[in-house]
């Protein structure tokens, strides 16, 4: 079995059972003018992981590891958007409002698309999700089953929100998850650091962490 030198201890996975999960690398979170910026965040922090993630995606594709993408977005009629999500806080633009990249976090709008550098290839699963976790109200579990996955490389944004929620949900469902440290990011560096610490604490209570170099090293084409 391939072995990744990870924290808090080595991570091994059976050949053919690994999948790469790329969470919400959408223009609305990563580019100026989208949802992330409307909440007052500096989106350049998130843009910075794109090259490393692009390298990991390419390595997975070359090694035959399935790549599954998610997008946080809502139906045009917002029927899958609870008031508790739309009305909370005081953002400059709310979900569904028109912005420079179309309606914020609405499926089919330019802002809801995955950034071009990480665009899914034909045949790769793309899961639209209304919540933070990828399992809620989606076909994500079916996509993992179709990929024959038991082990997941977790990446994307934001570390402590959609990535961590999905990783915890996957862990509860029996998946062995590794969070790739330089392929995930938060608007808040301290939240990313805390997430890395908490997932691998207590003997990998939620899972493992490693760098993309450590993962790529063991992926053989």
Candidates 24, 28, 128, 182; catalytic one: 24
* 161 binds ligand C5J, rule: CB under 6 A: yes
User: Does residue 157 bind ligand C5J (CB under 6 A)?
Assistant: yes
> Beta strand pairing status for 18-23 and 11-12?
unpaired
Name which of 171 and 214 has its Cβ closer to ligand C5J: 171
C-beta of 36 vs 102, nearer to ligand C5J:
36
CB of 4 to ligand C5J, least distance (A): 25
Close Cβ partners of 82 (under 8 Å, ≥ 6 residues apart): none
3-state per-residue secondary structure call for the chain: CCEECCECCCEECCCCCEEEEEECCEHHHHCCCCHHHHCCCCCHHHHCCHHHHHHHHHHHHHHCCCEEEEEECECCCCCCCCHHHHCCCCCCCCCCCEEECEECCECCCHHHCECHHHCCCCCCEEEEECCCCCCCCCCHHHHHHHCCCCEEEEEEECHHHHHHHHHHHHHHCCCEEEEEEEEEECCCHHHHHHHHHHHHHHHHCCCEEECHHHHHHHCCC
31 binds ligand C5J (CB under 6 A): no
Task: Say whether 132 is catalytic.
Answer: no
- Provide, rounded to whole angstroms, the least separation between the CB of residue 50 and ligand C5J: 15
Give the interface size with ligand C5J as a residue count (CB under 6 A).
7
Q: Give the contact letters, 96-135, x = binds to ligand C5J (CB under 6 A), - = no.
A: ----------------------------------------
CA dihedral 19, 23, 24, 25 (to 10 degrees): -70
Q: Which of 33, 43, 56, 72 binds ligand C5J (CB under 6 A)?
A: 72
Quick one: which of 7, 20, 22, 24 contacts ligand C5J (CB under 6 A)?
24
CB of 67 to ligand C5J, least distance (A): 17
Nearer residue to ligand C5J within complex by CB, 24 or 176: 24
Q: Indicate whether 169 belongs to the interface with ligand C5J (CB under 6 A).
A: no
User: Which positions are annotated as active-site residues?
Assistant: 24, 129, 162
Instruction: Report the interface residues with ligand C5J, using CB under 6 A.
Output: 24, 29, 72, 157-158, 161-162
């Amino acid at each position: 079995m391939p072995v990744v030198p990870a924290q808090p201890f080595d991570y091994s996975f059976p050949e053919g059972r690994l999948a790469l999960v790329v969470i919400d690398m959408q223009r609305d979170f990563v580019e100026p003018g989208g949802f992330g910026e409307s909440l007052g965040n500096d989106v350049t922090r998130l843009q910075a992981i794109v090259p490393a993630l692009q390298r990991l995606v390419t390595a997975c594709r070359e090694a035959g590891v399935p790549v599954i993408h998610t997008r946080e977005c809502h139906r045009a009629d917002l029927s899958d958007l609870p008031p508790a999500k739309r009305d909370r806080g005081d953002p400059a633009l709310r979900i569904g409002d028109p912005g420079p990249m179309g309606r914020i976090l609405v499926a089919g709008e330019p802002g809801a698309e995955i950034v071009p550098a990480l665009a899914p290839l034909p045949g790769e699963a793309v899961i639209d999700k209304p919540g933070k976790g990828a399992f809620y109200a989606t076909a994500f579990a079916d996509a993992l089953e179709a990929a024959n996955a038991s082990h997941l490389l977790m990446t994307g944004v934001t570390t402590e929100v959609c990535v961590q929620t999905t990783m915890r949900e996957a862990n509860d469902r029996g998946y062995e998850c590794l969070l790739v440290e330089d392929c995930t990011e938060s608007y808040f560096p301290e939240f990313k650091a805390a997430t890395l610490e908490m997932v691998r604490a207590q003997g990998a209570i939620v899972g493992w962490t490693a760098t993309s170099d450590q993962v790529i090293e063991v992926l053989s084409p």
